[in-house]
Amino acid sequence: MPGFELFGDKERAQVQDVLDSGVLMRYGFEGMRNDHWKAKELEVALAKKMRSSHVHLVSSGTAALTVALASAGIGAGDEVIMPTFTFVASFESILALGAIPILVDVDDTLTLDPKAVEKAITPKTKVVMPVHMCGSMANLDALQTICDQHGLLLLEDACQAIGATYHGKPLGSIGNLGCFSFDYVKTITCGEGGAILTNNETYYQNAHKYSDHGHDHIGNDRGAEAHPFLGYNYRISELNAAVGLAQLSRLDEFIDIQKKNYILLREALSKIDGVQFRTVPEGGEENYSFLSFFLPTEALALQAQKALGDAGVDGCFYWYNNNWHYYRKWEHLTHKKSLGKLPKDVLEALPDYEKADFSSSDHWVGRNISCLIKLGWTADDVKQRAQTMSDELQKIL
Ligand SMILES: *Cc1c(COP(=O)(O)O)cnc(C)c1O
């Protein structure tokens, strides 16, 4: 999946432009910058590609989530529904605003289970945040219906799913707000970077100001007029945006390679009894960054992961035991470990996750293996991999 695998002349040329002018900042310095506005250019290109009215770039995917929530006025005490299977950034971004992360089960899509979402709604719920993990998506029609019924915002964390679509629409452009990450291991990379997508003019204007200290951005000298509200610095640099411009121009190429490799591996594994592929909601098209499947039991999944690793098949993850991606290992959250004191309201409102019942998530994630699809594989590499994976899984099943 990672864009860093195919990195070259296009990226170099874009970065050289920035170095030649010496202006590494996305705002100001008109006289010096040789008319290079890499961040602005990438925002326009992304908005066009994702068919979204507005895109605002920030310094990371985590920042994008925080800024997206802030732009819609989410703050202290508001509840945000998020899945048990995601990256730690989900609850970090919520807690950063004093809001409360409400963990909810995932289903066979490996993303939010709409039935579990419905049960978790309280008068304090403000946002439903599906996370399109490993290149595929949540059932967005079902989640949108729930959001409409309860007056909630839908915020898509599409950090791992750029290039995937749902009923023909790009993921990230479907909810009230959507976020991408361009960190070093994502499908396309800026080194570090993130983006907020929205069709809502107010959220966009808020995100713009909030991510630059609350400066009003009126006129040439930004912030000269006023500070309409408190903000923070989540700016992206021109160097990062320049890399992103080159990478975005190659997104379709990357997805095509992933799809080709994914299909070959999937064909091989589909012949094996006992391998069940992850469910992709109707109308969904993955970005093919991972091939995710379930084995009949947790013990078999563990055995399979070990066998694949021993046989030299790298990049197959058993997320159930992973420190970053599944609630079972989020000890810092469940034990409320914070450097400074957490706000009293947050401490009181955080559910007791040590006692929570996520057996339904365990049922799916405990039997799941997700294998990374690489861009750099040769045809022979893929063939060999398909053969080894089939052999190893067949031995176990
Ligand atoms: C990577 C990732 C993020 C955070 O992105 P960063 O750019 O690394 O901060 C958020 N959510 C998901 C699902 C991710 O995979």
280 and 332 belong to one structural domain: yes
209 and 301 belong to one structural domain: no
For residue 380, the enclosing domain spans 252-396
- Among 184, 218, 251, give the residue marking a domain's end: 251
Is 251's pLDDT higher than 80?
Answer: yes
Query: Each residue of 317-347: pLDDT tens digit?
Result: 999 998 899 999 999 999 999 999 999 999 9
How far is 258 from 261, CA to CA, in rounded Å? 5
Q: What are phi and psi of 48, to 5 degrees?
A: -65, -50
Please state the atom number of ligand 1 nearest to the C-alpha of residue 183: 7
Annotated catalytic residue, options 186, 306, 344, 374: 186
In this prediction the pTM is: 0.97
Please state the atom number of ligand 1 nearest to the C-alpha of residue 193: 7
CATH number assigned to the domain comprising residue 86: 3.40.640.10
CATH number assigned to the domain comprising residue 341: 3.90.1150.10
Is 208's pLDDT higher than 70?
Answer: yes
153 and 22 belong to one structural domain: yes
243 and 298 belong to one structural domain: no
Ligand 1, atom 6, lies closest to the CA of 61
Least confident of 218-232, 246-260, 275-289: 218-232
231 and 262 belong to one structural domain: no
Domain count, the chain: 2
190 and 256 belong to one structural domain: no
- Among 251, 286, 304, give the residue marking a domain's end: 251
Cα of 226 to ligand 1 centre, how many Å? 32
Please state the atom number of ligand 1 nearest to the C-alpha of residue 65: 10
Query: Each residue of 36-50: pLDDT tens digit?
Result: 999 999 999 999 999
Is the distance from CB of 73 to CB of 97 less than 8 angstroms?
Answer: no
Beta strands in the chain (DSSP E): 54-58, 79-83, 100-104, 125-128, 153-157, 165-166, 169-170, 177-181, 194-198, 276-277, 284-285, 290-294, 316-317, 368-372
* pLDDT score at 53: 98
Known catalytic residue: 186?
Answer: yes
Cα of 195 to ligand 1 centre, how many Å? 11
Ligand 1, atom 2, lies closest to the CA of 159
68 and 105 belong to one structural domain: yes
Is 349's pLDDT higher than 80?
Answer: yes
Q: Tell me the two tokens of residue 39.
A: 């961040």
Residue 250 carries which side chain, given as an amino acid letter? R
68 and 133 belong to one structural domain: yes
* pLDDT score at 7: 84
**How many alpha carbons fall within 13 Å on the CB side of residue 348?**
6
Cα of 181 to ligand 1 centre, how many Å? 5
| Residues 6 or more apart whose Cβ sits within 8 Å of residue 299 | none
Q: Report the percentage of the chain scoring pLDDT > 90.
A: 93
Pocket lined around ligand 1, Cβ cut-off 6 Å: 60-62, 86-87, 89, 131, 157, 159-160, 181, 183, 194
CA of 98: how far to CAs of 76, 113, 132, 331, in Å? 4, 25, 24, 19
184 and 290 belong to one structural domain: no
- Among 195, 218, 251, give the residue marking a domain's end: 251
Cα of 31 to ligand 1 centre, how many Å? 35
Please state the atom number of ligand 1 nearest to the C-alpha of residue 131: 13
